[in-house]
Chains A and B, each alone.
Chain A
Amino acid sequence: MYHRYVVVALSRRKPNEGKELTKEEKQRLRKQKKHQKKQKERKNEKGPSETEKDKTPVSLLPPPQPVATQKAPSALPAPASAPIPVPASAPFHSSPAPSPADKPAKSKAELKAERRARQETDRAAKQPGSSSSGIKTKVPLSELNPVVKRLPEHVQVDDPAVVKRLAKKLERQQIPLRSDYGYKVSLFSHLHQYSRKAPLTQLLSIPSTVIHPSIVRLGLQYSQGIVAGSNARSVALLHAFKQVIRDYTTPPNEELSRDLVNKLKPYISFLNQCRPLSASMGNAIKYIKKEISNIPSQCKEEEAKTKLLTCIDRSSLVNNILCEAFEKSRKFRVIVVDSRPRLEGREALRRLVQRGISCTYVLISALSYILPEVSKVFLGAHALLANGYVMSRVGTSQIALVARTYNVPVLVCCETYKFCERVQTDSFVSNELDDPDDLMVTRKGKTQLENWQDVSSLGLLNLVYDVTPPDFVDLVITDLGMIPCTSVPVVLRVKNLDQ
């Protein structure tokens, strides 16, 4: 990943890779072709039951992938990835991760045959009463070969091969590709940069047959910033999924556990296009997929649906902590540090003042002035990475750094569902670029940066996240208790054992 800094420095404006919307006919033609191919293969190879291979024109599935695991944009339909019955934590995934340069060495027919054989063994292993946890025990902890963990692929917008694959995948799922907007700063040109004025929903046909309306609404809320903050986004996501499950009916000859997960895949790609998924949302999706695939095949539809709904049902965090402490009549003063362009601190300030807590409001540029009178710093987190780094709103690592120099203890408050297996040491590799137009400010009727696109040497950068190293954080407060920042992998291990 690190060589990209040198490579990219030369190019400036890349041509837009946006593709046109797929026509229904193209889609149908392609499906027919695939169907014919598979008929031929089936004749060659007495394959297993017809039910799985039954392709209805409306079905959105790429060929046999009963239950997909990662939501990674692996656009190659299947040659590189093996179908895995259980999507949960990836430790027992034994096939190599799809690398961008993977070219299928064998013919498609051979690969499909292989895939089918693998599916059969997996299904056979799954059937005799063993649930997903049974399959998990196939890979005991004493296994000596290191199993490759599949982590979501990194975003690589400036690599045309990856973009083409992504576009193909979205075409197949009938989701419009969102085009990047504006000039991107070269160091971050591997990330997407979208404009808020061009939401993805404008490109969708109405009514959309592919995407459930509550998901469309959610996507719009994400892209316009109406629902923001990792807790709020996860909660909204789960509510939308509940609605999807309620409205879902199993098509004939399909199994709920497999079909529902496949229905969820285009939704997730759609939401990813509206706004890149956060780590907490990723964990929530993994959990749901696991729950769905755990449903035994004999389960009736109504039963299955109620089961799923019940299991879904259980920054804002720092605010809650402070309000509770205030209720316990602790005497303290809060200094809220805010930063442009989102100015999320204002809402927090409003809530605290309503409770009667005495507050001070500063912008982040005044940090070194107020720190001498601060006794503790409370920060929220978007995600906690496996190497102890804290991923949070941009500006957090700055606060932690300055607090360290003043010897003020820094406490990060984070629920354990936000812990993720990713490792990141800097804020460049994986981040989110927000709409650059947000940085424009109008004062006294004049907007200085109004025509920033016309100035060829000017770039606006609106970063959303940054990572804080664990040396700056003294304590992490989680629902499991207080832990030092370096103990995140311990918690992940304990949680994996529980599951």
Chain B
Amino acid sequence: MEECLVEYFRTQMRTDPDMASAVAAIRTLLEFLRRDKGETILGLRESLKWATDCLTEVDSSVAVSSGGELFLRFISLTSLEHQDLSRCKKVMEERGELFLEKISLSRTKVAKLCHTFIKDGAKILTHSSSRVVLRVLEKAAAEKKRFTVYVTESQPDTAGKQMADALRRLNVPVTVVLDAAVGYVLEKVDLVIVGAEGVVESGGIINKIGTYQMAVCSKAHNKPFYVVAESFKFVRLYPLNQQDVPDRFKYKADTLRTVSDLSDEHPMIDYTPPSLITLLFTDLGVLTPSAVSDELIKLYL
């Protein structure tokens, strides 16, 4: 059962590399719901939770866990008064598909909101490889704006190089810089745009390691620091500092399984507090960090 689930998930990720891992997870959960042969609503919910846990073991990013939880809440938000279980399931499936449709459009919405902030002739700094940021820059390029991009290499997996390749295909002038060169390059830059793996309750973000550094430097240089994220990445965490972020998000799933002593491992993500973020662009609108809590209350209550 578990392998089936994981296999489906991996296939989804492979067939569409542009899709967010959370979206793939939600697709998998929807398929799981369709194939589930449970007898009770409670049992159904339990098995969905179990499925989400399985998926987080495969891909330990924050987005998968938050996406799964939001999916579960969304489909069970309607009071299921129908006596018939199959009728209930049908309603849940419909809602699940609705949810999926909404979130596949979320990147487009974000791009539409954000590209207006990129002025002609702007120099943008971004960190590592984010598909949302790529979509934003695509939209800006489609609007015939001229801009140059600096991408950090982003060790240890040098994801920045993939971002640079994708941008070159768009004919955008791009330079790959070392992670250590962020402070050096910031004086040339007009704005900083990064994606996020998760947006926490305080309005801060969890993203690839090196983001916090970039945020601190941009604050020191007084450059705007923008974050682009879809709304399913909103997660119910409230870290106060770096060590408050739970270990299960910090390291890759394989590392968590194989390595027993984590003190030798290097975390893959860090936490950026809300005081360093200027604005967040989401499919719910353009938000200040303090408005994130308001939106979270609306989403989760």
Contact = CB atoms under 8 A, between A and B. Distances in A.
Interface of A: 376, 407, 409, 411, 471, 474-475, 482-484, 486-487, 490, 494
Given A474-B202, A482-B201, A487 B238 contact: no
B284 interface: no
Given A484-B201, A484-B202, 13 more contacts: A411-B240, A474-B202, A474-B240, A475-B238, A483-B201, A484-B274, A484-B293, A487-B290, A487-B293, A487-B294, A487-B297, A490-B297, A494-B297
Interface of B: 201-203, 238, 240-241, 274-275, 290, 293-294, 297
B243 to A, nearest CB: 10
Contacts of A411: 240
B241 A490 contact: no
A490 B294 contact: yes
A486 B293 contact: yes
Of residues A471, A474, A484, A494, which shows the largest number of chain B Cβ atoms within 10 Å of its Cβ?
A484
Contacts of A482: 201, 238
Contacts of A490: 293-294, 297
A193 to B, nearest CB: 37
Nearest to A471: B275
A494 B296 CA distance: 13
Contacts of A486: 290, 293
Given A474-B202, A475-B202, A494-B297, A484 B240 contact: no
Nearest to B301: A494
A360 B203 CA distance: 34
A490 B275 CA distance: 19
A265 B240 CA distance: 45
A36 B288 CA distance: 62
Contact of B293 (A376, A409, A474, A483): A483
Contacts of A471: 275
B240 A409 contact: yes
B201 to A, nearest CB: 7
A471 B290 CA distance: 11
A487 B274 CA distance: 13
Contact of B290 (A409, A474, A484): A484
Contacts of A409: 240-241
Contacts of B290: 484, 486-487
Given A486-B293, A490-B293, A494-B297, A376 B240 contact: yes
Contacts of A376: 240
A235 to B, nearest CB: 29
A341 to B, nearest CB: 33
Nearest to B297: A490
A414 to B, nearest CB: 16
Nearest to B295: A490
15 contacts: A407-B241, A409-B240, A411-B240, A474-B202, A475-B202, A475-B240, A482-B201, A484-B203, A484-B274, A484-B290, A484-B293, A486-B293, A487-B294, A490-B293, A490-B294
B119 to A, nearest CB: 29
Nearest to B204: A484
B295 to A, nearest CB: 10
A407 B294 CA distance: 25
Choose among A376, A407, A475, A487 the residue with the greatest number of B CB atoms under 10 Å from its CB. A487
A409 B203 CA distance: 15
B136 to A, nearest CB: 26
A411 B244 CA distance: 14
Nearest to A485: B290
Nearest to B293: A487
A475 B202 CA distance: 8
B202 to A, nearest CB: 5
A483 B203 CA distance: 10
A471 B241 CA distance: 16
B229 to A, nearest CB: 17
Nearest to A486: B290
B271 to A, nearest CB: 12
Nearest to A483: B293
B215 to A, nearest CB: 15
Nearest 10 A/B pairs, CB to CB: A486-B290, A409-B240, A487-B293, A482-B238, A490-B294, A484-B202, A484-B293, A474-B240, A483-B293, A490-B297
A475 B240 CA distance: 8
Contacts of A407: 241
> Considering residues A471, A483, A494, which has the most beta carbons from chain B within 10 angstroms of its beta carbon?
A483
A475 B275 CA distance: 13
